[in-house]
Amino acid sequence: MPKDGSGLSLDGLGLPLWLVVELTYKCPLKCPWCSNPVDFDQYRNELSTEQWKEVLRAGRRLGSLQLGFTGGEPMLRNDLEELVAEAESLGYYTNLITSGVGLNTERLRALKNAGLKQIQLSIQSNDRQHSEQLVGVDVLEHKIAIARAIKAEGFPMVLNVPISRFNIERTEALIDLAADLGVEYLEFANLQYYNWALVNRAELLPTREQLAKSEAAVNAARARLGKRLTIFFVVPDYYDDRPKACMNGWGSVHLTIAPDGTALPCQEARLIKGMDFPNVRDHDLGWIWHHSPAFNTFRGDSWMSEPCRNCSEKEKDFGGCRCQAFLFTGDASNTDPVCSKSPNRHLIDNLIARAEQRGEAESDSSKPLTMREIKRRVRSEA
Ligand code: FES
């Protein structure tokens, strides 16, 4: 098993196998769980086409293999096809993570010709009005039309459903929709509570019972549909007693480049205040990955304090998520409070208890959701 020099086993030989490029923070949708920074509009200095191409070349030199184009909404970049073609010439396996807004048959064909391998399309509801309530734009019919066009052009496709209290009761209906669309993969991604989702966490967090029902519906559909549709169900880690092995360990296999060229060990890392993340405009990507202080801060296990330091599971979960540790405790080097061994686990339990008290309504109309960019209320359908 490869080692990183400090005793921990690392997947991916310590190479940034998984490169994610956030081409822009701009997006026409207003999702109240958006993973972009809450102050995303302060980052306006997007990399140019040529700068992005150099990032792709440098990533391949470092050993990156899988490349995700995301944002914001990556379709808002007119050079996307050009960047995909560059990635294809470099030998990446490419996927596009999109809301579908800005996609049409012509651009799909251009992306296919450029070499794009897979598309992940997000969908939030099977009902037009409900979808509009959730994302702030009347977009469901377009998404469904685009899903069909993606299949018609022969792309493998993941339908991604960000799951919250507002749509978890629709699990079965969304499975039916995915089966009807003929997608290969359906991912129910329970929200991870960072940035905009964190702002709205009290409203968005489902109850344990809702999760159990949703997972049961997924299991029934798996039995019914077999290989026709592969369904992933990503549980919210708050309901677990061990933390997720976030990013397979900090600086282990994952590298994100933000729109302004900032290099991050995960898409959320900017929220850790006091850390200085390097920028590809100023530094060689190889130096950033191998030698920058930011990427080395939480590598290995020398940064760990108890209970992680002497924990028999530290090579499984690497102490959990650094961003979550920071958000809950103000210190990113603490054990992820999701872990039942953490002295801060009660902070998670308190949140869960509040979610249970709120009951199982699809939404609570007495509380507003803060939409990305603008503040407005999302009301219950009931
Ligand atoms: Fe940043 Fe987990 S999301 S380390």
Report pLDDT digits (tens) over 324-339: 999 999 999 999 999 9
pLDDT of residue 376: 47
- How far does residue 257's CA lie from ligand 1's centre (Å)? 14
Distance from C-alpha of 201 to C-alpha of 191, rounded to nearest angstrom: 9
* DSSP reduced 3-state for 75: helix
Question: Is any ligand 1 atom within 6 A of the Cβ of residue 87?
Answer: no
- How far does residue 321's CA lie from ligand 1's centre (Å)? 5
Question: Is any ligand 1 atom within 6 A of the Cβ of residue 269?
Answer: yes
Distance from C-alpha of 274 to C-alpha of 285, rounded to nearest angstrom: 21
Does the ipTM exceed 0.95? no
Checking if the pLDDT of 45 tops 70, the result is: yes
Average the pLDDT over each of 39-43, 101-105, 146-150 and give the range with the smallest value: 39-43
Question: Is any ligand 1 atom within 6 A of the Cβ of residue 247?
Answer: yes
Which residues, other chains included, contact 316 with Cβ-Cβ below 8 Å and sequence gap of 6+?
Answer: 242, 245
Distance from C-alpha of 75 to C-alpha of 98, rounded to nearest angstrom: 7
Q: Is 273 exposed, middle or buried (0-12, 13-18, 19+ CB in 10 A)?
A: exposed
Strand order in the sheet with 230-234: 230-234, 185-190, 157-163, 118-122, 93-98, 66-70, 18-22, 254-257, 263-264
Q: What tens digit of pLDDT does each residue of 205-260 get?
A: 999 999 999 999 999 999 999 999 999 998 888 999 999 999 999 999 999 999 99
- How far does residue 332's CA lie from ligand 1's centre (Å)? 10
Question: Is any ligand 1 atom within 6 A of the Cβ of residue 266?
Answer: yes
pTM: 0.92
Q: What tens digit of pLDDT does each residue of 47-79 get?
A: 999 999 999 999 999 999 999 999 999 999 999
Average pLDDT over residues 345-366: 77
pLDDT of residue 360: 58
Residue 366 banded pLDDT, cuts 50, 70, 90: low
Average the pLDDT over each of 149-153, 160-164, 272-276, 369-373 and give the range with the smallest value: 369-373
Question: Is any ligand 1 atom within 6 A of the Cβ of residue 143?
Answer: no
- How far does residue 18's CA lie from ligand 1's centre (Å)? 15
pLDDT of residue 151: 96
Q: What tens digit of pLDDT does each residue of 90-99 get?
A: 999 999 999 9
Place of tokens 């490869």: 2
pLDDT of residue 10: 45
- How far does residue 125's CA lie from ligand 1's centre (Å)? 27
Comparing 82 with 202, the larger pLDDT belongs to: 82
Q: Can you give the C-alpha Rg of the chain in angstroms? A: 20
Q: What tens digit of pLDDT does each residue of 13-38 get?
A: 689 999 999 999 999 999 999 999 99
First to last CA, the chain: 54
- How far does residue 111's CA lie from ligand 1's centre (Å)? 30
Atom of ligand 1 minimally distant from the CA of 298: 4
Average pLDDT for the chain: 91
